């Protein structure tokens, strides 16, 4: 048994505190922005802080979310550096797969931001800043959540680039957390636009 353990080192070092900090940051970010956005929708919390200017409030939240994302990514990289590598992930082909995933992931994220704009990307719907029509062009004709899946691809690509199995496990957490977030966001956002449409129809009837 000792010989087996010696020749097969642990895939993940669970003694590293950075692993748990990274996992916490991954779970925290979507929880934070969904909580803040819903409070904004129901109570106009951020808009009040910005003297009734919902546009500025939305931009402030966007900057906060973006900054938290950078911090989360830094914690993820730090966690990977303290984890063991695995020979399977050090094969010659793996870096090419990693770079392809990172490239495709960033394309999905950047093009979706371009298509939606800042307020469309960063929960402007919750501030009453609604889009006229749904975006159906690329990358939304590929997936309904390009930001989330693009981010997940970048996480996986980074894990492969570092050849750390722990990164693959954290990537699974990223995907699950985003799926949970979509379960809350999609129905809520759909209802926001449905309410807008109902109010428009009611307004036409009273004219």
Q: What is the per-residue pLDDT for 3?
A: 45
pLDDT at site 127:
97
In this prediction, residue 1 carries a pLDDT of 34
Select from 84, 121, 65, 96 the least CA-distant residue to 10: 84
Render each residue's pLDDT in the chain as its tens digit; 207 residues. 334 333 445 789 999 999 999 999 999 999 999 999 999 999 999 999 999 999 999 999 999 999 999 999 999 999 999 999 999 999 999 999 999 999 999 999 999 999 999 999 999 999 999 998 889 999 999 999 999 999 999 999 999 999 999 999 999 999 999 999 999 999 999 999 999 888 888 876 555
Are 180 and 34 a contacting pair, CB within 8 Å? no
**Rama region for 123: left / alpha / beta (φ>0; ψ in -120 to 50; rest):** left
Cα–Cα distances in angstroms (integers) from residue 63 to residues 16, 76, 99, 118, 177, in the given order:
30, 20, 27, 10, 21
Closest to 123 measured CA to CA, from 202, 62, 49: 62
Q: Count of CB atoms within 10 A of residue 139's CB? A: 22
Length of the chain: 207
For residue 183, what pLDDT is reported? Answer: 96
9-42 CB burial, b ≥16 within 10 A, e <16? eebbeeebebbeebbebbbebbeebbebbbebbe
In the numeric block, which tokens belong to residue 68? 């938290």
Residue 52 CB partners (closer than 8 Å, separation 6+): none
pTM of the model: 0.91
**In sequence order, which residues have a C-beta less than 8 Å from that of residue 107 and are 6 or more positions away?**
139, 150
């Amino acid at each position: 048994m000792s010989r087996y353990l010696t020749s097969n080192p642990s895939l993940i070092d669970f003694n590293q505190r950075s692993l748990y900090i990274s996992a916490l940051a991954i779970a925290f970010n979507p929880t934070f922005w969904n909580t803040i956005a819903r409070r904004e929708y129901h109570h106009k919390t951020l808009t009040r802080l910005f003297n009734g200017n919902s546009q500025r409030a939305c931009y402030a939240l966007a900057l906060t979310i973006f900054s938290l994302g950078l911090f989360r990514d830094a914690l993820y990289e730090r966690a990977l550096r303290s984890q063991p590598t695995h020979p399977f992930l050090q094969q010659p082909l793996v870096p090419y797969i990693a770079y392809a995933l990172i490239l495709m992931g960033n394309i999905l994220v950047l093009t979706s931001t371009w298509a939606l704009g800042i307020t469309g990307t960063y929960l402007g719907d919750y501030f009453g800043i609604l889009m006229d029509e749904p975006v159906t062009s690329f990358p939304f004709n590929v997936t309904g959540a390009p930001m989330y899946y693009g981010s997940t691809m970048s996480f996986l690509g980074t894990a492969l680039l570092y050849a750390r199995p722990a990164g693959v496990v954290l990537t699974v957490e990223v995907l699950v957390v985003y799926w949970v977030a979509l379960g809350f966001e999609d129905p809520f956002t759909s209802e926001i636009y449905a309410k807008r449409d109902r109010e428009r129809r009611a307004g036409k009837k009273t004219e």
